[in-house]
Structure 1
Amino acid sequence: MAIENIPENFIKDQEKHPDLFVYDFKMTSDVVKSKVKLGMNMFSFLQVGKKQVHFAGTSVAVNKDQSLLLKKGNWLWTELLDTEAIYYCKLLFFSEEKLIGFLSKYTNSVKPHQDGMPCFVIENDDYLAAFISSLSSDTFIDQHFSEALLGLKFEEIMLYLLNKYGSNFEYYLHSLISKEVSPFKNTIESHVHSNLKLEEIAFLCNMSLSTFKRHFTNEYQEPPGKWLQDKRLQKAKELLQAGELKASDIYLDVGYNNLSNFSIAFKNKFGISPTDISN
């Protein structure tokens, strides 16, 4: 899976490094899963389709009723069609310098930098719908007042969200300018029970696969493949023992591509098949 450098891949003139940038993203593929190096903080205003994002310590899924504000860094995201034949979202990127300028202008005091959630989920409403409809990449390209107009749009959405979410949003904005990186172990353990592959978790840790494996073994005294498999199979056993789910319901969620491989691994570890538990 190739790494997407965003927004750089969307900017036609690579000599320019805008502080604010709007991009209309459309696709017609059923599902696209991407590794993304996000170079700027970004609003994602989903219009049609569904989106799921993974960062170092979290995973969030949204549809067109919600928008996301994403912290710059390494992300895995999945974009998929819903009932329509197209996926469409509007993206608004902003630099750290632009954010600092906004915070110094509109907030009374500098809050201590905190490392909070890397994304903020926004519930769409009528005001946001009107704002989103006013955003178009064509509006803000090569027009005499386009840069000034986009600056006003940026302040508009930020001020509205400060009114809507209050101090929670203000603290989140301040956390975006923190330079701390999520700890290695926090990244690993937040994805223990996901179905992400080793290579994908390595990417979230900003490491090559070989470096990740070496670092993991030093940290946990066990190879990552075996460690994760044991943790995920233990979780699968707990789910089956609860009695509400069958093996066919959970094998994908614990990292297996087919039911047969899951059943073999489960029996090798616990000495019984998953169906023996769930029956």
Structure 2
Amino acid sequence: MDFHIKYITPDIKLSTYDDKLFKTETVFEFHMLVWFISGETKIIQADQSYLFKTGDIFLIPRNHLATIINYPKDGLPHKAVVMHLTKERLKDFYSNIEVKKENIRKEVKIHRFEKHPLLESCLASLIPYFDMKDTFPETIASLKITEAISILREIDKNIDSVLADFDEPGKIDLIDFMEKNYMFNMSLEKFGYLTGRSLSTFNRDFRKIFQTTPQRWLTQKRLELAYYHLIEKNKKPSDVFMEVGFEDLSHFSFAFKKQYGFAPSLVR
């Protein structure tokens, strides 16, 4: 694995990856504005998948689960400029802007922005700074992030519904959330946080509702989804195990054979 990250500030980075693929399952604590220089990324959420290629610009909202798979492409590494839009910085930005409460909607989708010269030039202007030996001034970094937020608001009139939402996850329906998000290989602490519960409350509520432990239920649901992909979609085990929440192919194959009595490679 050859994965490099260069930071010019804690909130602006250049990531480079030139191995076969890099996969992570995560929930971000802040919004991520991403511009692809090269490579491809597949992002899988509960109800939708996205494929991003060279030149694409998109925003991943905070506090939403996603599986992210990065690929090199056409002999070039996976390379992207990433800007963190933290809650603190956004609160400061919106402190003098009135946003009506009814315009704040809970957005779960990833926002893709059509090619726009202002947004492209803003992000492209960061590239030379990654080669600087001196410390990048925080004042300039703040100006760059403010510029990016201002451009987003100019080209997407609905973006305030995402950027100006500062609420933390509240207690939500556990059945609905888990049925939509079980394929994400998150810690139980994260599942608890996203459903508005402490770990102990999450475990207690889960056992009461599902009559089993979270670990057993998650494994069962992921194997059922894998079986569906193998038999109905004619996919290969190597293409399935990551999408359904398993860390590696050998662990997936062992659990699948234990559940169904035969290896996943025999389904086809």
Q: Structure 1: how far apart are the matches of 2:22 and 2:7?
A: 21
Deviation sequence 1:202-243 (CA, Å, 0-9, x none): 364267xx96766633331124455442575378459957xx
Provide the residue aligned with 1:15 in structure 2: none
Q: Which letter does structure 2 place at the counterpart of 1:84? A: G
Q: 1:23 to 1:206 in 2, by over 3 A?
A: farther
Provide the residue aligned with 2:13 in structure 1: 23
From 116, 141, 146, the equivalent of 1:155 is 146
Deviation sequence 1:120-164 (CA, Å, 0-9, x none): 333333333222211134489636xx4333333223222222222
Does the 8 A contact of 2:38 with 2:55 survive in 1? Answer: no
Q: 1:68 to 1:216 in 2, by over 3 A?
A: farther
From 161, 180, 193, the equivalent of 2:169 is 180
Q: Which letter does structure 2 place at the counterpart of 1:154? A: I
Provide the residue aligned with 1:3 in structure 2: none
Q: Structure 1: how far apart are the matches of 2:212 and 2:66?
A: 26
From 75, 92, 101, the equivalent of 1:84 is 75
From 215, 234, 238, the equivalent of 1:246 is 234
Tell me by how many angstroms 1:70 deviates. Answer: 3.1
Does the 8 A contact of 1:111 with 1:171 survive in 2? Answer: no
Is the radius of gyration larger for structure 1 or structure 2?
A: 1
Moved more, 88-97 or 210-219: 210-219
Q: Which letter does structure 2 place at the counterpart of 1:179? A: E
Q: Structure 1: how far apart are the matches of 2:68 and 2:261?
A: 33
Provide the residue aligned with 2:188 in structure 1: 202
Provide the residue aligned with 1:142 in structure 2: 135
From 40, 44, 52, the equivalent of 1:50 is 40
Does the 8 A contact of 2:61 with 2:162 survive in 1? Answer: no
CA RMSD of aligned residues (A): 4.3
Same amino acid, percent of matched pairs: 14
Q: 1:75 to 1:189 in 2, by over 3 A?
A: same
SS at match of 1:205: helix
Gaps of 5+ in 2: 194-198
Q: Structure 2: how far apart are the matches of 1:254 and 1:37?
A: 16
Q: TM-score, normalised by structure 2?
A: 0.66
Q: Which letter does structure 1 place at the counterpart of 2:188? A: A
Does the 8 A contact of 2:229 with 2:235 survive in 1? Answer: no
Does the 8 A contact of 2:226 with 2:240 survive in 1? Answer: no
SS at match of 2:79: strand
Aligned length: 243
Provide the residue aligned with 1:218 in structure 2: 208
Q: TM-score, normalised by structure 1?
A: 0.63
Provide the residue aligned with 1:4 in structure 2: none
SS at match of 2:107: coil
Moved more, 107-116 or 248-257: 248-257
